């Protein structure tokens, strides 16, 4: 059975920006793009800079792909697949994420399907803390 974990309120997210949450010992970067009604979840660890910083990167769109640019060395990671655009051999894990009645929920056991999650989807709940 799918284990969805309630990590925060949608109100805790910054529009067009990232936040980091700690879920089952994993630092996960969550990105909220309200104009697209989408949220994305990737691992916060930058494999080039060797630091947990991706949640602080700049998000945008390159060739129709939603991306985050690492704040350290500026590599771009696709928010849907985790693939680095500058070196496709490097990826970061992506996680299934959904919005349920104004709450953000993540499943660390499932990878993202490559599609953004929207607030039109419904789920269950659990509990966790948002990292500052």
Q: Does 21 fall in a domain?
A: yes
CA distance 102 to 114: 22
Phi, psi of 38 (to 5 degrees): -135, 150
Q: Does 117 fall in a domain?
A: no
Domain that holds residue 54: 5-107
Quote the number of domains for the chain: 1
Q: Does 95 fall in a domain?
A: yes
Q: Does 64 fall in a domain?
A: yes
Q: Does 63 fall in a domain?
A: yes
Identify the CATH number of the domain in which residue 89 sits.
2.102.10.10
What does each of the 132 residues of the chain score in pLDDT, given as a tens digit?
569 999 999 999 999 999 999 999 999 999 999 999 899 999 999 999 999 999 999 999 999 999 999 999 999 999 999 999 999 999 999 999 999 999 999 999 877 554 444 433 332 222 233 332
Q: Does 73 fall in a domain?
A: yes
**Cβ(117)–Cβ(107) under 8 Å?**
no
């Amino acid at each position: 059975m799918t284990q969805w974990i309630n990590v925060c309120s949608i109100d805790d997210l910054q529009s067009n920006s990232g936040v980091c949450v700690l879920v089952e010992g994993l630092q996960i970067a969550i990105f909220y793009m309200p104009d697209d009604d989408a949220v994305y979840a990737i691992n916060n660890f930058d494999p080039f800079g060797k630091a947990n910083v991706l949640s602080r990167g700049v998000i945008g769109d390159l060739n129709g792909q939603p991306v985050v640019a690492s704040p350290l060395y500026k590599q771009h990671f696709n928010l849907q697949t985790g693939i680095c655009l500058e070196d496709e051999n490097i990826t970061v894990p992506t996680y299934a994420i959904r919005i349920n009645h104004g709450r953000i929920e993540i499943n660390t056991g499932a990878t993202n399907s490559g599609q953004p999650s929207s607030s039109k989807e419904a789920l269950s709940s659990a509990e966790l803390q948002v990292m500052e």
